[in-house]
């Protein structure tokens, strides 16, 4: 081996070539995990049985002993009677009568004593069985509580590892699964159970399908079409970006792919064409306005469809664990009115608060039409992609009328059509790393969150927190909980991490406070997208769009806070009226 190769190998092994965990965040995550894993069982006592899992532990009743079956008398053929003269009955003496009565009394008393003894024996056996069952139930409850605390420690450590970026999200999740199984907190079958969840595969399949929009150029064609129709003014351009995001949202579950992969390049090219450059005073000409608008409408469209953001199916799954059913059509219908109004109002509010210097953009229409000419007539593969997209929307919206057709089944069928028609090939599927990454971290978080509920942690927290808001009406209590849930996103750099760590608990508390379950589940799910607009790190598209350099941090946060007020008023105020019409409360 040459000296150069040796030195190259040594360099790769050194700090500059280190490809493993980031030492600081990894050590911090490990320390936190160890403290929680060994400290929580000592610091947090087993709660009273009435609070655990929301109800007292009751031993299973032992069925009473069945009486022995009476032998059935077998019929016998009557024997031929021989006429015998009846003997005259001799009258009993007084002494004989008294003796007979005394014997019958003793026999009756003995039978009563025997029956009483038998009943006491059966009652004793039953009591012992109930006591044993009660002890076993209590032992299991305590063991489940300790397991729940251990799983909570692993779960929190996984979330912290994701937030601190000790490793890529999928890698952190995989380590979390390994620790769950190695520690004996859950069996290996339970630890891997998330990979068989159909909700997870829905989002993975949607990632594959979204690749077709990018590969065929259909996504860019849709965007340029809206630019040509609405691009005469800067405000119209912002509505064109919103319309593009809205059309693509149902089939592209990665808000980063929509905002960063399709919308951002078009937005940036438009801004540069008008001399609006990042990091310069000219950014206010157009670029900063379009950047802020593109990000905020991305948060709105992500809230409008179950398949528009990766964490939405996670919220659906967590709600399902609490016996709250959310369908694709139900989600879309509930979000329809507040979502469309927000898409109309939010760009206008940003336009008024952060007015661009260039308001007339006739050249944008010319540019969009030029790009459409370059794309040429719509191709066969684009038609196939469009047909599959429309088919999926029909299947998802009318799933109930089609015999409760599972959305994952529809997505699987759509992917099959794309493969059969050549829109996608197997290399496209293998190379869609975002889908496989999502599969791993999504499966880990779903598994942990589900078992935290099964082991009683979430119901216990909900029951305990419910007592804190029990003095309020359900509307006031739910509003407080929803606002706390919303603005706590300042401490999160991921919608998924926020949903995984807080959604189930806050939903459980809201239901315990009296909020209608479906309404509470949907509002918290909508907020799980809208709250990302407050910071430049709140969700995937944030660093992509912020990284263009058109908007300063202070401006981004100020506008994010103001738009959060606007979104809450629209979704809670107008949305509340719409949900009343739908019968959700």
Question: Does residue 375 fall inside a structural domain?
Answer: yes
Q: Does position 415 have pLDDT exceeding 70, yes or no?
A: yes
Taking only the tens place, the pLDDT of each residue in 10-52 is 333 444 567 788 888 889 889 988 999 899 888 888 877 665 5
Q: Does position 55 have pLDDT exceeding 50, yes or no?
A: no
Round to whole Å and give the CA distance between 218 and 206: 16
Question: Does residue 467 fall inside a structural domain?
Answer: yes
**Residues 260 and 201 occupy one common structural domain:** yes
- Whether the CB-CB separation of 392 and 410 falls below 8 Å is answered with yes
Q: How many domains does the chain have?
A: 2
Q: Does position 182 have pLDDT exceeding 90, yes or no?
A: yes
In order of 54, 417, 453, 461, 511, the CA distances from 465 in angstroms are 12, 48, 15, 6, 11
Comparing 298 with 107, the larger pLDDT belongs to 298
- According to DSSP H, which parts of 305-432 are helical? 312-321, 328-353, 362-375, 380-397, 407-420, 426-431
Q: Give 574's DSSP letter.
A: I
- CA-based angle 352:358:364, to the nearest 5? 115
Q: Give 502's DSSP letter.
A: I
The confidence score (pLDDT) of residue 516 equals 95
Question: Does residue 60 fall inside a structural domain?
Answer: no
Banded model confidence at residue 108, pLDDT cuts 50, 70, 90: confident
The confidence score (pLDDT) of residue 393 equals 81
Domain ends where: 191, 226, 260? Answer: 191
Q: Does position 56 have pLDDT exceeding 90, yes or no?
A: no
Question: Does residue 445 fall inside a structural domain?
Answer: no
Sign, CA torsion 74/79/81/86: negative
**Residues 342 and 474 occupy one common structural domain:** yes
Banded model confidence at residue 471, pLDDT cuts 50, 70, 90: confident
Q: What is the mean pLDDT of residues 85-93?
A: 64
> How high does pLDDT run on average in the chain?
83
**Residues 152 and 183 occupy one common structural domain:** yes
Taking only the tens place, the pLDDT of each residue in 153-162 is 998 898 888 8
DSSP tally for the chain: helices H, then strands E: 26, 0
**Residues 184 and 201 occupy one common structural domain:** no
Q: What is the mean pLDDT of residues 166-173?
A: 88
Banded model confidence at residue 523, pLDDT cuts 50, 70, 90: very high
Question: Does residue 328 fall inside a structural domain?
Answer: yes
**Residues 166 and 225 occupy one common structural domain:** no
Banded model confidence at residue 466, pLDDT cuts 50, 70, 90: low
**Residues 354 and 283 occupy one common structural domain:** yes
**Residues 361 and 480 occupy one common structural domain:** yes
Question: Does residue 372 fall inside a structural domain?
Answer: yes
Banded model confidence at residue 76, pLDDT cuts 50, 70, 90: low
Q: What is the pTM of this model?
A: 0.67
Q: Does position 65 have pLDDT exceeding 80, yes or no?
A: no
CA 460: distance to chain centroid?
19
The count of residues in the chain is 585
Banded model confidence at residue 87, pLDDT cuts 50, 70, 90: low
DSSP three-state, residue 233: strand
The confidence score (pLDDT) of residue 253 equals 76
Share of the chain above pLDDT 70, in %: 89
Question: Does residue 13 fall inside a structural domain?
Answer: no
Highest mean pLDDT among 186-190, 194-198, 405-409, 553-557: 186-190
Taking only the tens place, the pLDDT of each residue in 275-315 is 888 888 888 888 899 999 999 999 999 999 998 988 898 89
Question: Does residue 70 fall inside a structural domain?
Answer: no
Domain that holds residue 568: 196-424+456-581
**Residues 419 and 498 occupy one common structural domain:** yes
Q: Does position 257 have pLDDT exceeding 70, yes or no?
A: yes
Q: Does position 2 have pLDDT exceeding 60, yes or no?
A: no
Comparing 494 with 379, the larger pLDDT belongs to 379
Domain ends where: 191, 208, 243? Answer: 191
Q: Give 402's DSSP letter.
A: T
**Residues 169 and 203 occupy one common structural domain:** no
Q: Does position 1 have pLDDT exceeding 50, yes or no?
A: no
Domain ends where: 191, 220, 254? Answer: 191
**Residues 415 and 476 occupy one common structural domain:** yes
**Residues 380 and 356 occupy one common structural domain:** yes
**Residues 143 and 272 occupy one common structural domain:** no
**DSSP string for residues in 17-57:** G--S--HHHHHHHHHHHHHHHHHHHHHSPPPPTTTGGGS--
């Amino acid at each position: 081996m040459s000296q150069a190769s040796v030195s190259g190998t040594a360099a790769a092994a050194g700090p500059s070539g280190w490809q493993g965990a980031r030492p600081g965040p990894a050590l911090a995550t490990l320390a936190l995990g160890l403290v929680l894993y060994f400290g929580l069982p000592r610091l947090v006592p087993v709660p009273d049985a009435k609070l655990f899992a929301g109800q007292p532990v009751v031993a299973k009743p032992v069925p009473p002993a069945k009486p022995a079956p009476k032998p059935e008398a077998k019929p016998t053929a009557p024997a031929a009677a021989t006429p015998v003269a009846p003997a005259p009955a001799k009258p009993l003496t007084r002494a004989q009568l008294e003796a007979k009565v005394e014997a019958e009394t003793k026999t009756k008393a003995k039978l009563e004593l025997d029956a009483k003894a038998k009943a006491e024996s059966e009652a004793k056996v039953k009591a012992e069985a109930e006591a044993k069952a009660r002890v076993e139930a209590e032992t299991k409850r305590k063991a489940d509580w300790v397991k729940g605390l251990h799983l909570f420690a692993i779960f929190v450590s996984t979330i912290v590892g994701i937030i601190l970026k000790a490793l890529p999200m999928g890698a952190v999740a995989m380590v979390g699964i390994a620790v769950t199984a190695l520690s004996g907190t859950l069996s290996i079958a339970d630890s891997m159970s998330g990979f068989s969840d159909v909700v997870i595969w829905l989002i993975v399949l949607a990632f594959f399908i979204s690749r077709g929009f990018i590969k065929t150029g259909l996504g860019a064609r849709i965007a340029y079409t809206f630019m040509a129709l609405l691009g005469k003014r800067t405000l119209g351009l912002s509505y064109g970006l919103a319309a593009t995001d809205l059309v693509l949202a149902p089939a592209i579950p990665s808000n980063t792919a929509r905002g960063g992969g399709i919308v951002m390049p078009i937005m940036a090219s438009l801004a540069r064409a008008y001399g609006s450059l990042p990091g310069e005073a000219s950014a206010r000409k157009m670029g900063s306005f379009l950047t802020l608008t593109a990000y905020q409408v991305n948060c709105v469209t992500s809230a409008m469809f179950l398949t528009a953001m990766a964490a939405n199916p996670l919220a659906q799954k967590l709600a399902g664990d609490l016996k709250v059913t959310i369908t694709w059509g139900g989600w879309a219908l509930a979000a329809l009115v507040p979502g469309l109004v927000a898409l109309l109002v939010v760009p206008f509010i940003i336009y008024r608060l952060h007015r661009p210097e260039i308001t007339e953009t006739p050249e944008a229409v010319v540019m969009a039409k030029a790009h459409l000419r370059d794309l040429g007539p719509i191709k066969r593969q684009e038609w196939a992609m469009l047909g599959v997209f429309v088919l999926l929307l029909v299947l998802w919206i009318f799933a109930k009328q089609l015999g409760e057709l599972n959305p994952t089944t529809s997505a699987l069928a759509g992917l099959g059509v794309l493969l059969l028609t050549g829109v996608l090939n197997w290399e496209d599927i293998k190379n869609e790393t975002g889908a496989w990454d999502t599969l791993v971290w999504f499966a880990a978080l779903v598994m942990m969150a589900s078992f935290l509920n099964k082991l009683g942690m979430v119901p216990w927290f909900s029951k305990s927190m419910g007592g804190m808001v029990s003095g309020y009406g359900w509307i006031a209590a739910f509003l407080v909980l929803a606002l706390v849930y919303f603005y706590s996103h300042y401490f999160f750099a991921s919608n998924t991490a926020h949903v995984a760590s807080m959604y189930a608990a806050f939903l459980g508390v809201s239901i315990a406070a009296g909020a209608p379950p479906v309404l509470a589940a949907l509002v918290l799910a909508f907020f799980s997208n809208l709250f990302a607009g407050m910071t430049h790190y709140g969700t995937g598209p944030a660093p992509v769009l912020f990284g263009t350099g058109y908007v300063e941090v202070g401006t981004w946060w100020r506008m994010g806070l103001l738009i959060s007020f606007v979104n809450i008023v629209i979704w809670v105020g107008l949305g509340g009226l719409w949900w009343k019409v739908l019968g959700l409360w």
